[in-house]
Amino acid sequence: MAVVEATDLPVMVYDIPGRTGVKITDDTLARLAEHERVLAVKDATGDVEQGFERMEATGLEYYSGDDGLNFAWLTHGASGVVSVVAHADAHSWREMIREVDAGDLPGARAVAQRMRPLVRAIMGGGQGAVMAKEALVLQGRIPSATVRLPLVRATAAEVAALRDSLVAAGLL
């Protein structure tokens, strides 16, 4: 609550226990949801069922924070996605969201299936932010994939596999 009170801006709670080592409890989320500036949750817990229940209980907008689960989140009522992979291919995520919004779940599922290799290449082996930067360098969008410690650059093998995925997806 101290963080929420430190700003006049709207707040999106980021629930990512894999990065923080702490799960946001139902009680904590319920208390946060009572604050007028807490509007949404980026959920990267991997638990869509829990998120669906929390959406109902709190009335907060929910956004997928797990690129591999974006389709599942959207079909369970998420408002959208906060994506790492979209740095390399925002068009496909936009296409999938439009398909879900139009009620074309087979079309949306086809987009999600098409995206799986790129999601695995960026999120599967290394650290997502590191691999996203490498993808942007390969695409010529940024000049360097330099990261700050404790993150380290991707290996040559990881970059080669990423390049293959980008080529296969038609993004290089």
Collect all residues with Cβ–Cβ distance below 8 Å to 115 and sequence separation of at least 6: 67, 85, 89, 92, 93, 96, 169
Q: 62 catalytic, yes or no?
A: no
- For 50, 86, 138, the CA distances from 129, given in Å and listed in that order, are 26, 11, 14
* Annotated catalytic residue, options 42, 62, 63, 133: 42
Q: Is 42 noted as a catalytic residue in this protein?
A: yes
With tokens 């779940």, the residue in question is 105
Surface-to-core class of residue 44, CB atoms within 10 Å of its CB (0-12 exposed, 13-18 middle, 19+ buried)? buried
Q: What is the DSSP letter of 125?
A: S
Active site residues: 14, 42
